[in-house]
Each structure stands twice: as structure tokens, then as C-alpha cells.
Chain A
């Protein structure tokens, strides 16, 4: 996988396996997200709870109102992002290269974050220093992180710099 910044956005190159992997993940994610159209309290399900966080953990009534007000929009927004990435993957040439315009590439970022959030829960990651297990799933999680980091670095190199004074 390689990400190269371009004037209009980014050029991304995937191996056939990487493309297929990402397509599969996105399809599963889309299904998961659409199941949440009814605005149930998802606090008991950590993976879904992270995709649709509780905005008012100390106020059940306000939390419920917020859910009612935002759930559908969030589902549509997340689904649109993953759909955009899936469509871009289908447009790749035989060498696995695809050019993504800046505005679209920006929408890859939250899509990748969401995929990683779900995988992190499956992997049992709860704290910053939780180690990754030695598994295929962990490899996929790490790969998605590298892709996301590469995209941020290409789109906004200043944000990818290590902050001054950070140990």
C-alpha cells in the first residue's frame, strides 16, 4: 500500500489483497451501521457505543433526546463515507492505483477510524497501552492504522508532525 500526495488530492496504490480486504471490511461495516437506524441505547455494546457515543452519560433523558435527534443523520453520514471509499476502490486501475480528490480523501479518514474502532473492540483494546495480540485481526488493524496515518500525512503534513515538547 502506498499513499502519495498530489496537487488535487492523493494517489493510493493497493495490492489486490489489500483492495479485497478493505472492500470486505466496508461491506460488513455498512451492514453493522444500518442495523442501528433505530435509536436504541447502544451503551452496552462497546463497538457500537463508540460509533454512536452517548453524548450525555449523566442524563438519561438528554441522552435519549440526542439519540433521537442525531442517530439517523449519523447512520447516513457514516454510510455515505464508507460508500465513497468502496466506490473509489472499484475505480482502481489494473495496477491497483486510484486517484482520490482532496475532499473525498478527507472522508476516507473517518471511514477508516470507524473500521479501526470496531476492530479495536473485537481485539479487546481499551487503554492506550494495551498490547495488540499476535493475530491476523491485529495485523489488519495495524494496516488500517498505517493507511489512515499515511492519508493524514499526505493531506495535512503539519498535523502529522510530532508536537513540540512531546516526549
Chain B
């Protein structure tokens, strides 16, 4: 995520050297790795706890992410900021857990807000 200072940082920044390659986010690496085994989830009870995970990205404003967590999930300001900071500093945060269908709805909602979210099974 970015804070306000970084929005105008480009006035001060030296352009990236030619030939440097951007880091590809692990998300995209996994999806293009044809040797990676994909597991199917069929047959697993939807009672097993599932999670909605929000991932960090270099675009979304910290203030906007906090705002989404407050507006959509109804988190308190301290809790919304805590989760936002977790996304920002650790790369991801679990923003909800429960039945699979509910987690898919939350994930879809996050996509509507322009956040990057995935559905995952809770670790047993």
C-alpha cells in the first residue's frame, strides 16, 4: 500500500535503471507454474472453516483499505487499522472466517472494492 508521502515521491526519485526486472508477485508465479499440482476441494465439508484473505498490493492507499474494512465489515477503527497494517507489513491478513459461501461473498465484495482477496481453508 502507499501513504500520502509516496504519492508525490516521484518528483524526487531517480528513474529505475534500464534492464532491471520487476519482482513478479508470488500470486502470478503460482498460476504460471505448470508443474504445480492443483488440489481439488471436492468432497470437503463446507463446515470446515474457510477464510477470506486480503493481500498487499503497491497501489491501494492505506487509508482506503482501512476505510473498506470499516465500511464493509464494520470493524472498529483500531481493528481496521490493525488488519490494514497486517496487510501492509506482513503481506496479507485474514479478514473473515466462516462457511465457504460466505467467504466467497466477502471475497467478491473485496474485488468490487478493488482489493486483492482470495478464499482459503483455515489451517487445522
A residues sitting closer than 8 Å to B (CB atoms) are: 43-44, 46, 49-62, 66, 69-70, 73-74, 77-78, 106, 109-110, 113-114, 116-117, 120, 124-128, 130-134, 138-139, 142, 145-146, 148-149, 152-153, 155-156, 158-160, 162-164, 166
- In contact, A131 and B39 (Cβ under 8 angstroms): no
- In contact, B111 and A52 (Cβ under 8 angstroms): yes
Contact of A58 with B25 at beta-carbon distance under 8 Å, contacts A152-B64, A158-B77, A166-B85 already known: no
Whether B93 is near chain A, meaning CB under 8 Å from some CB there, is no
- In contact, B116 and A53 (Cβ under 8 angstroms): yes
Q: Which residues of A contact B15 (CB under 8 A)?
A: 131, 133-134
Q: Which residues of A contact B1 (CB under 8 A)?
A: 128
- In contact, B31 and A148 (Cβ under 8 angstroms): no
CA distance A159 to B104 in the complex (A): 26
Residue of B whose beta carbon sits closest to that of A162: B3
B residues sitting closer than 8 Å to A (CB atoms) are: 1-4, 7-10, 13-16, 22-25, 27-28, 30-32, 38-42, 56-64, 66-67, 70-71, 77, 80-81, 84-85, 88, 104, 107-108, 111-114, 116-119
CA distance A119 to B36 in the complex (A): 30
Q: Is the interface of A mostly helix, strand, loop or mixed?
A: helix
Q: Which residues of A contact B67 (CB under 8 A)?
A: 109, 152, 155-156, 159-160
Contact of A116 with B40 at beta-carbon distance under 8 Å, contacts A55-B104, A126-B25, A131-B16 already known: no
Q: Which of A43, A62, A131, A166 contacts B9, CB < 8 Å? A: A131
- In contact, B64 and A74 (Cβ under 8 angstroms): no
28 A-B residue pairs with Cβ-Cβ distance under 8 Å, sorted by A, are: A49-B28, A50-B114, A51-B114, A53-B111, A53-B116, A53-B117, A55-B107, A58-B39, A59-B41, A61-B42, A62-B40, A69-B104, A70-B104, A109-B113, A113-B64, A117-B59, A124-B16, A126-B24, A128-B56, A128-B58, A134-B15, A142-B7, A142-B8, A142-B10, A158-B77, A160-B63, A162-B3, A166-B85
Q: Which of B41, B104, B112 contacts A78, CB < 8 Å? A: B112
Tell me the smallest distance from the CB of A61 to a CB of chain B, in Å: 5
